[in-house]
Amino acid sequence: MKKKLIQNTTEHFEKLFHNQPEYIFLSPGRINIIGEHVDYNDGYVLPAAINKYVCITISPNKNSNCKIVAKDLNEVFEFDLKDTLVPNSIMWINYILGVLQQLKEQKQFANGFNAVFSSSVPIGSGLSSSAAVECGFAYAFNKMFDLGLTKEEIALIGQKSEHTFVGVNCGIMDQFASVFGKKNKVIKLDCNTLEYEYHKADFKKYSLLLLDSNVKHTHLTSGYNDRRNEVEQGLAIIKQHFTEVKTFRNCTSTMVLELKEQLGETIFKRCHFVVKEIQRVQDAVNAIENSAFRTLGQLMNETHHGLSQEYEVSCEEIDFLVDAVQYEKSVLGARMMGGGFGGCSINLVEKGSENELIKKISEQYRSKFGIELKSYKVKISKGTTEYKN
Ligand code: GLA
């Protein structure tokens, strides 16, 4: 599948530009085991890069002309890098323009290029195809024009592009996972300091299965930014009452419960979720280290309950998918993954039982919503990289 993606993208480049691309890059999507909506709330997250990629074939130009082809959409965007770059109504180009704008500011960078990209990361499924595009292009420019950026800087540039050109005030998890992914490792990332450690992603008898609701997250941008505002307000109130609290990380469940009235119902629920989710990530890491997979599954179920009822970022279809597996013996835990309002559920499932489970849930899902379920048995893979034949 990876080979096919590379081959198709390369052939398309050759057809359009009558030359072989000088460089090929692969930038992966990501999963997240646990730690949802806490990357912008002083938490830890536990993501990993997966074997679904954005493939970028690219060659530098001698002038400042840029031509980018989104192969899957059959769309072309051309511009001059000397022009002022501003957000465009064509969404996909914003991920790249946002990156270029920063490089222009930071590195006085004005080299043009021709590029074709294509993706096996499904779009709008919560697997961070956008971070894969941002980081893939930032990585490509860094390599191609020798800009001297670190991996951390590449991830941060990707995140800022999302803030400034896409309009989603996202955390750092997706970009970090895409760039820092390692084969068969999950990354425990401290989102305050960006310190990280790799943990073995060995789930022994179990595997990770994604069920894609096929519901695109249309409320994601507004819903996401609203949640950020709510928790910011919440933290400000908590800090007023407990001066020792600097971030959500040193805030306890008891404190939040004590302030229930002052916070008001909605903000209380949001903050309570955050504090409990930060703890769950620590517990999940211990569970993985001790091969306590039932505990891990239980924590995932608790996360889902919180995302659905307290943080309120799930939707009917995802709740259905998570509920439907609760009584399946072969499933230890399940939850909504990513920003929410659609996308995928992540399931910890007994190896060998996946196909039967997919068949059963697909039928139930089809008869309830009339939507075809998609499923992905993902492998944990390495982060953004240059591909060499
Ligand atoms: C999106 C954002 C991430 C993170 C998740 C929720 O994927 O891009 O920064 O906040 O939602 O955990």
239-272: pLDDT as tens digits: 999 999 999 999 999 999 999 999 999 999 999 9
Using the mean position of ligand 1's atoms as its centre, give its distance from the Cα of residue 171 in Å: 6
Q: What's the pLDDT score for residue 238?
A: 98
pLDDT tens column, 274-292: 999 999 999 999 999 999 9
pLDDT cut 70: percent of the chain above it: 99
Judge whether residue 115 has pLDDT over 90: yes
With bands split at pLDDT 50, 70 and 90, how would you rate the model's confidence at 384? very high
pLDDT tens column, 189-247: 999 999 999 999 999 999 999 999 999 876 678 899 999 999 999 999 999 999 999 99
Is residue 174 flagged as an active site residue?
A: yes
Among residues 39, 42, 174, 212, the one annotated as catalytic is: 174
Using the mean position of ligand 1's atoms as its centre, give its distance from the Cα of residue 10 in Å: 31
Q: What's the pLDDT score for residue 222?
A: 83
Using the mean position of ligand 1's atoms as its centre, give its distance from the Cα of residue 22 in Å: 33
3-state secondary structure the chain: CHHHHHHHHHHHHHHHHCCCCCEEEEEEEEEECCCCCCCCCCCEECEEEEEEEEEEEEEECCCCEEEEEEHHHCEEEEEECCCCCCCCCCHHHHHHHHHHHHHHHHHCCCCCEEEEEEECCCCCCCCCHHHHHHHHHHHHHHHHCCCCCCHHHHHHHHHHHHHHHHCCCCCCHHHHHHHHCECCEEEEEECCCCCEEEEECCCCCEEEEEEECCCCCCCHHHHHHHHHHHHHHHHHHHHHHCCCCCCHHHCCHHHHHHCHHHHCHHHHHHHHHHHHHHHHHHHHHHHHHCCCHHHHHHHHHHHHHHHHHCCCCCCHHHHHHHHHCCCCCCEEEEEECCCCCCCEEEEEEECCCHHHHHHHHHHHHHHHHCCCCEEEECCECCCCEECCC
Using the mean position of ligand 1's atoms as its centre, give its distance from the Cα of residue 207 in Å: 23
Q: What's the pLDDT score for residue 116?
A: 98
Q: What's the pLDDT score for residue 124?
A: 86
Average pLDDT, stretch 166-182?
97
Q: Whose CA is nearest to atom 9 of ligand 1?
A: 171
Ligand 1 site-directed mutation target among 34, 46, 174, most atoms within 8 Å of CB = 174
pLDDT tens column, 357-377: 999 999 999 999 999 999 999
Q: What's the pLDDT score for residue 221?
A: 80
Q: What's the pLDDT score for residue 110?
A: 84
Ligand 1 site-directed mutation target among 32, 37, 221, 273, most atoms within 8 Å of CB = 37
With bands split at pLDDT 50, 70 and 90, how would you rate the model's confidence at 108? confident
pLDDT cut 90: percent of the chain above it: 96
Q: Whose CA is nearest to atom 11 of ligand 1?
A: 339
Q: What's the pLDDT score for residue 140?
A: 98
Judge whether residue 389 has pLDDT over 80: no
Average pLDDT, stretch 158-180?
97
Ligand 1, pocket residues at CB < 6 Å: 36-37, 39-40, 128, 170-171, 173-174, 338-339
Q: What is the mean pLDDT of the chain?
A: 97
pTM (2 d.p.): 0.97
